[in-house]
Amino acid sequence: MSIPYFQHPSSFRDPSGFVFEKDNVVYRQVNQVYKQHFDFFIGCGLYEKLVKEQLLIPHQQINENLTGSNDRYATLIPAPVEFISFPWEWSFDMLKDAALLTLRLMKEAIASGMILKDATPYNIQWHNGKFIFIDTLSFEKYNPDEPWIAYRQFCESFLSPLLLMHYSRQSLQQLCVAWPEGIPLTVTRSLLPWRSKWSFHTYLHIHLHANISKRKTNKTGTNTKFSKQKMRNLTGSLEMLIKKLKAPDMATAWSEYYDEASKRNNYLEDKKRIIERWVDELPEIKTAADLGANEGEFSEILALRAIKTIATDSDANCINKLYNRIKSAGKKNIQPVIADLSNPSPAVGFGNTERSSLGTRLHADLCLALALIHHLVIGKNISFEMMARFLSGISKKLIIEFVPKSDEKVKLMLQSKKDIYSVYTKESFEQAFKKHFRTEKQQDIAGSGRTLYLMQRNEE
């Protein structure tokens, strides 16, 4: 018996409804239990206001009961989100802006007689060059007799990682992988320095909040109630604290990459000219993945040609700079993502299916792997064969740069480790990639000893 639809594995926690896919179209079912809240959300004008201000993903409502469920009240077709990313793939300022978006939605909801029942980063995704809220069913009618049920979730999911990065001056996105539902308040409190207590808002939302939450585990009926004004005060306090937090801005091995590369006898200019020419000869390319993008200089070449590009790099500082440049310029075709290709984002959650791995999500028409291969092969001991297999799973077209052993960057890498890389040669590289790709074009980059390849994936 065929299954008529596929329910998304992360969409099982909320009885209000769920996301499912049928015939390659993503839908959201609204269940009967959410009927009153949904009607109020639409009727009070909040949905229209949030969509108009590009804060909430728009949807189309259809009459068909595609799941055949008796619980169904409505079926929605939300605007498609092309690439799903997760908080451990966001830079500091990306997470900060996602937090501020959540608080703005909370304020808008309160003004319309509603409230956010969820305050998780998973409700926010990148869409048309900015973050947007995607969970239509997170809004409920405001009840003055109840506290903000999502307050702790917000503090653990947004405030905890932001504060820890702010005070430590380190990029700590991997903590979000260890605690995908939010870093527990007690853990955050124990990791923050003593001086954090001198910040009134930090003390209130982390230290005092942790103490109160701990005491409540042994008591019942002691929840604090909030009037609308108290709810606004709480939201305003969180907003004030988050706006003051600063991103770690530490110099890394890749922070000055373009400055150093620009000194290499027109290396960057020649490399750009070759790639621009090759890309212009590929009109069918609509999407791309720029792996090891640094601050996105080559991603912008693609974006200027209306190619929607996922720009990944393991350096959170570089991705943060790219994000802020995209934000200030209003660019829509580049999505920045933190990704260490030697240890990409894993599948997490119940049954390892709620949040899928980077390799499962990352697919494009074209893949750029520029000045990358030597870092993975020599830096991480990943073979050419393994790299070729991995890249063939991402795209059909590949532009890849081979950096020879005679290159100054490779020599520098080998100063701190034993040279066991006798097979690191152009011939071995070409032979390994030949199993998965055929070379369509090949050109040396002037004065660098490096070579660019345009490859097409072998189709079985």
pTM beyond 0.85: yes
Q: What is the pLDDT of residue 216?
A: 54
- Residue count (the chain): 460
| pLDDT surpasses 90 at 227 | no
Taking the CA atoms of residue 169, residue 174, residue 180 and residue 186 in that order, the dihedral angle to the nearest 10 degrees is -40
Q: What is the pLDDT of residue 2?
A: 46
If one compares 225 and 448, the residue with the highest pLDDT of the two is 448
Q: What is the pLDDT of residue 215?
A: 73
Q: What is the pLDDT of residue 158?
A: 98
Q: Which helix (H) or strand (E) holds 75?
A: strand 72-78
Residue 226 pLDDT class (50, 70, 90 cuts):
confident
41: left (phi over 0), alpha (psi -120 to 50) or beta: alpha
- pLDDT tens string 414-455: 998 888 989 999 999 999 999 999 999 999 999 899 999 999
| pLDDT surpasses 50 at 253 | yes
The DSSP secondary-structure symbol of 221 reads S
Q: What is the pLDDT of residue 221?
A: 46
Q: What is the pLDDT of residue 225?
A: 62
Contact call for residues 453 and 400 (beta carbons, < 8 A): yes
Residue 1 pLDDT class (50, 70, 90 cuts):
very low
Mean pLDDT, residues 184-197 taken together: 97
Mean pLDDT score of the chain, rounded to an integer? 93
| pLDDT surpasses 60 at 318 | yes
Show the CA angle centred on residue 107, arms to residues 103 and 113, nearest 5°.
135
Query: Across the beta sheet with 17-22, what order do the strands follow?
Result: 6-7, 17-22, 25-31, 72-78, 59-62
| Region of poorest pLDDT, from 45-54, 215-224, 271-280 | 215-224
Residue 5 pLDDT class (50, 70, 90 cuts):
confident
Q: What is the pLDDT of residue 213?
A: 82
Mean pLDDT, residues 87-94 taken together: 98
Residue 218 pLDDT class (50, 70, 90 cuts):
very low
- Residue 225 in tokens: 């109630």
The DSSP secondary-structure symbol of 255 reads T
- pLDDT tens string 326-369: 999 988 999 999 999 999 999 999 999 999 999 999 999 999 99
